[in-house]
Amino acid sequence: MKAEIGRRIKRTRVERGLTQKELASKVGIDFTYIGKIERGEQLPSLKILIKIGDALSIPVNYFFQDEAAAAINEISSELNSLAKDEKGRELLRILTQLHKDDIALMVEIIKVLNKHRIDSQKRPYETSNEMYLKAAEEEASYGKRKT
């Protein structure tokens, strides 16, 4: 039980892009305590677990569910977050029309867009249009053989 809770905390923390120090700061505990929990050396109190859940935007029951139920719960939480605005709802509607054979390509397109967004933050002189043009060029060349 300790190890499973720790693994779920670590996986969610990493997915959210947080360091142990950042999570600990949000929870109000020492970062070494987060490390002990993640390694399965320490079982947090329910009070701390609730604070960790709040900091990671996940319900506390996520830590006690079997793996499949936990995954469904996390996806549900992410979908609810996405559906809070009109653009998010539009995206969800369009995704229901996506053919299963196209999912891998869509995942790659999103990865390319995210990479370019991160790169453009490193190079603020590059405009969004230039960023999207490069992403489109990479998408167009995806899967083509290089000679």
Name the E strands within the chain. none
**Is residue 116 in a domain?**
yes
Q: Of 42-56, 79-93, 103-117, which has the strongest mean pLDDT?
A: 42-56
What does R_g of the chain's alpha carbons equal in angstroms?
Answer: 19
Same domain, 6 and 60: yes
86 domain residue, yes or no: no
% of the chain exceeding 90 in pLDDT: 43
Instruction: Please check whether residue 89 lies inside any domain of the structure.
Output: no
**What are the tokens at 122?**
């490193």
Residue 127 has pLDDT above 60, yes or no: no
Query: Is 60 within a domain?
Result: yes
Q: Which residues contact 62 (CB under 8 A, 6 or more apart)?
A: 8, 12, 53, 70, 73, 74
Over range 52-68, report the average pLDDT: 85
The secondary structure of residue 65, as a DSSP letter, is S
Distance from the first to the final alpha carbon of the chain: 52
Exposed, middle or buried: residue 104 (CB in 10 Å: 0-12, 13-18, 19+)?
A: exposed
Total tally of structural domains belonging to the chain: 2
Domain boundary among 64, 89, 108: 64
CATH, residue 60: 1.10.260.40
Residues 106, 58 share a domain: no
Phi, psi torsion values for 84, nearest 5 degrees: -75, -20
Q: Counting beta carbons within 10 angstroms of the beta carbon of residue 132, is it exposed (0 to 12), middle (13 to 18) or buried (19 or more)?
A: middle
Same domain for 6 and 53?
yes
pLDDT band at 50 (very low <50, low <70, confident <90, very high): very high
Return mean pLDDT, the chain.
Answer: 84
pLDDT of residue 105: 92
What pLDDT was estimated at residue 1? 61
Which residues constitute the domain of residue 135?
Answer: 100-141
How many CA atoms, within 13 angstroms, populate the side-chain half-sphere of residue 144?
A: 8
CB contact at 8 A, 74 and 82: no
pTM of the full structure = 0.49
Other residues' Cβ atoms within 10 Å of the Cβ of residue 50: 15
